[in-house]
Amino acid sequence: MITKIFGIFSKDIGIDLGTANSLVYVRGRGIVINEPSVVAINQKTGQVLAIGEQAKKMVGKTPSHIVASRPLVGGVVSEFEVTEQMLKYFIDKVHRETLSILPRPRVVIGIPSGVTEVEKRAVEDAVKNAGGREVYLIEEPMAGAIGARLPVQEPAGNMIVDIGGGTTEVAVISLGGIVVNKSLRIAGDKLNEDIVQYAREEFNLLLGERTAEDVKIKIGSAYPLENNLDIVVRGRDLVSGLPKEIILTDEDVRKAMSRSIKTLVNTIKSAIEETPPELVSDIMEKGIILVGGGSLLRNLDKLIREQTEMPVKIAEDPLTAVARGTGVVLEDIEALRDVLVSTEHEEPPQG
């Protein structure tokens, strides 16, 4: 009875809790929140000063006692209490315009595939402490595949590559389950680090992380471009300590990211090698589907196509595919229950 009452006043939500960005899907309304996974904390008082967009603006610009940090590393909760605060902020923000005094929504939340039981429990506990009534976990590649409208419950091979901020997930899915799964810590953030490292080594220039991300978005590519691009970047000269300005070309950025991208492509090839031949023939017909913000890197699909000799497609609106997938599950949890992750401490349903 109490559960039903909570259900009337609460909006069921799906969350793509990413290392770089978090997206929130509300049942019946679609995606209503898309904000950076950043929390700014005053370390003197322990008070949370800002979350999301406001906190991201503070990164690298705060006095020493204010720390703007990401509570997730590689898609996994590294700072439990901060993650809880961030989830509470999202849940409260969704319910702010309703008359709900104590929102207790059902929550479907994406987690990286291959996480440990302890890490699953950490996500579940964080959601419950933030106000979730029931928590359902779904692996991100599965959510991404559902969001990309792949027929995951059919006996046919679907290959999905989810390139996020902290992790890249490569999965082959059939009959509602993951047949082959690879997860690596090379994704958007690592490519930003590569650009910072390259500027340091080649130009003695210290760049900030946000500048490196800007460079990657504006001129980054995985494969030579038809028209050359360049960008003016400013940072600190490591020799003189004074401000310095240089021009970076798309070739510089490709060179900076080449090792990480090669590892990523090799992981996809390795997943194909481990896939049963019947499923490989399905994938050759349908193609490899790319989701996540990293899939927007120019010509990455072209490079993967060349290296794997398979068709490669970028999903429609790849940034929101995982969040949309959690939404599809929310709309019909019973029909899609077999795609959810079960946790060891779950009690069997009461008959």
Query: What is the pLDDT, as a whole number, of residue 351?
Result: 39
Query: What is the pLDDT, as a whole number, of residue 348?
Result: 45
**What are the residue ranges of CATH 3.90.640.10 in the chain?**
189-256
Question: Residue 292 is which amino acid?
Answer: G
Query: What is the pLDDT, as a whole number, of residue 4?
Result: 47
**What are the residue ranges of CATH 3.30.420.40 in the chain?**
2-143+322-339, 150-186+261-316
- pLDDT category, 332, cuts 50, 70, 90? confident
| Tokens describing residue 340 | 């959810």
Which residues in 60-208 belong to E strands, given as ranges?
66-69, 72-73, 76-77, 106-111, 134-139, 158-163, 168-174, 177-184, 205-206
- pLDDT category, 344, cuts 50, 70, 90? low
Number of H helices, E strands in the chain: 11, 18
For the chain, give the number of residues: 351
* Lowest-confidence segment of 66-70, 180-184, 221-225 by average pLDDT: 66-70
Instruction: Give me the CATH code for the 189-256 domain, please.
Output: 3.90.640.10
* Lowest-confidence segment of 27-41, 74-88, 164-178, 251-265 by average pLDDT: 74-88
pTM score, whole prediction = 0.89
* Lowest-confidence segment of 54-58, 178-182, 344-348 by average pLDDT: 344-348
Q: Please, what CATH class does the domain formed by 150-186+261-316 belong to?
A: alpha beta
Q: What is the pLDDT of residues 205-214, one digit of tens each?
A: 999 888 999 9
* Separation between Cα atoms, residue 41 and residue 47, nearest integer Å: 6
Share of the chain above pLDDT 70, in %: 93
* Separation between Cα atoms, residue 337 and residue 332, nearest integer Å: 9
Q: Please, what CATH class does the domain formed by 2-143+322-339 belong to?
A: alpha beta
